[in-house]
Amino acid sequence: MKQPLKPVMFVGTCSDAGKSVINAAFCRIFKQDGFNPAPFKAQNMSLNSYSTPEGGEMGRAQVVQAEACGIAPHTDMNPVLLKPTNDKNSQVVLNGRPVGNMSAKDYFGLKNDKEALFAEAIAAFRRLESRYNPIVLEGAGSISELNLRDRDITNMRMAQAAGAATFLVADIDRGGVFGSVYGTIQLLKPEERALMKGIIINKFRGDSSLFEEGKQMLEELTGIPVVGIIPYFQDIKIEEEDSVALDMKNNSYQEGKINVAIVLLKRMSNFTDFDVLEMDPRFNAYYTNQIDELEMADIILLPGSKNTLADLQHLRAKGLADAIMRERKKGKRIVGICGGYQMMGARLEDPLGIEGNLPAVPGLGLLPQLTVIGSEKVTEQSCFAFLPARQGKLSESDFINKGYEIHMGETRLLGDAPESALIELENGRKDGYLLDENCWGSYMHGILDNPDVLDFLAAGLEKEPVTLSFDYVAFKEEQYDKLADRVRRHSDMKTIYEALLPNAEG
């Protein structure tokens, strides 16, 4: 049996320093080295979420890290999730269940309630720690936000509670790495600084040997070893957590590909639904809120939203709703997922004001449906049969596709509209609507990750012959291994492992 290791935590000098990807890399490294790791992040703020096998909701970053560990995701890996609904308010999800909406001022001004949340986070960590080793923790943003330190439940306070060997990740690509690393270390309390076991320089471009002098300077300034200089890479595809990643994604038309325009919504959620389109060589996916770029696409995808009614009104105000309707009349393929699927109906209603102050808005009118936003949140994983009406009597072998639902709306047919379900779940429940091959939608997140669905999306639009379906699951496994290999080769694994030994100092 492997000797147990101390918890390890990766924190950052700033947001988007690459903590999530570094965390995923070490999750896979520990798995490869015979350990049984699990990820943990006490509090996440993200519109990219996931439904666990038990029906709880958690941030997708820890789902990716759980995949790298080779284990099923669980809400204990992300006990507190904040999902922004507008510029001021967020839905608070605790241990997988929504517990209400709160403004940032109220949330970060909490004292007693934040202590209760911190206690919940520690309890979730302890439950994980009893089942896995090591626990690979991730911090949030910068650990130098002094105004938030006393109310922190995610960064160094969590590191102290966990007794974690902590490593600081710095993004050298954005510049100022000496100031950011030195300043971050200097602003720590002495007991926090004692937890720091190494510095990881991330996103290094060029020959890392040229940074040898810089490495020595940082070690002399901080008294902490630089244990990794990780090269900047674009050849390894790991799911991104933050919406800032959208700025880096391709946003232009490509000849010879099936061009897919993903409508860029203000409150877009679960944009990871479309990552598979960036990996499958048949497609060229880009995010846009420009009419001319919609018009160039072969397929227009409407994604999920945390504020569907307001986002639909915004599309209408910008002329995008009319543009989508014009493209539909030209025969373009229009597909909606979750909130985008709701938008495709005739009308959306929010009588309880769950999403905001709009009680009702007209939909795009593409599908004969009405959606009413309610207080009950569906969070559920499912296996399903795709296009059930075309398969006749279904057998167990037809339910080979997988996905998950996260929504607070109920959609029903209008008048005498015929039933035309896109999918059928194992329990007999139907979901989605197929108007025709060029107009369909579903609540099912992750639906495009299934080869049957992806082939249906591409059908008739292929620019080049394709002999095999794209296996996204196998592709992701290959990427985790490539990531682990890259990070391992550019890290001082001996020093890192020594810091994780139970008798290691600190």
Minimal CA–CA distance to 258: which of 310, 212, 211, 296? 296
Residues annotated as catalytic are 338, 445
Output the CA torsion sign for 152, 156, 160, 161. Answer: positive
Q: 202 pairs with which residues across the strands?
A: 171
Half-sphere exposure of 368 (CA within 13 A, CB side): 12
Helix (H) or strand (E) holding 325: helix 320-329
Q: What is the residue whose two structure tokens read 């593409």?
A: 366
Contact by Cβ (8 Å): 471, 451: yes
In whole angstroms, what is the distance from residue 420 CA to residue 413 CA?
10
Tokens of 106: 């109220």
CA 183 and chain centroid, separation: 30
The pair of three-digit structure tokens given for residue 326, joined into one six-digit string: 């014009």
8 Å CB contact between 136 and 26 = yes
Number of residues that this document lists for the chain: 506
Token pair in block for residue 367: 């599908």
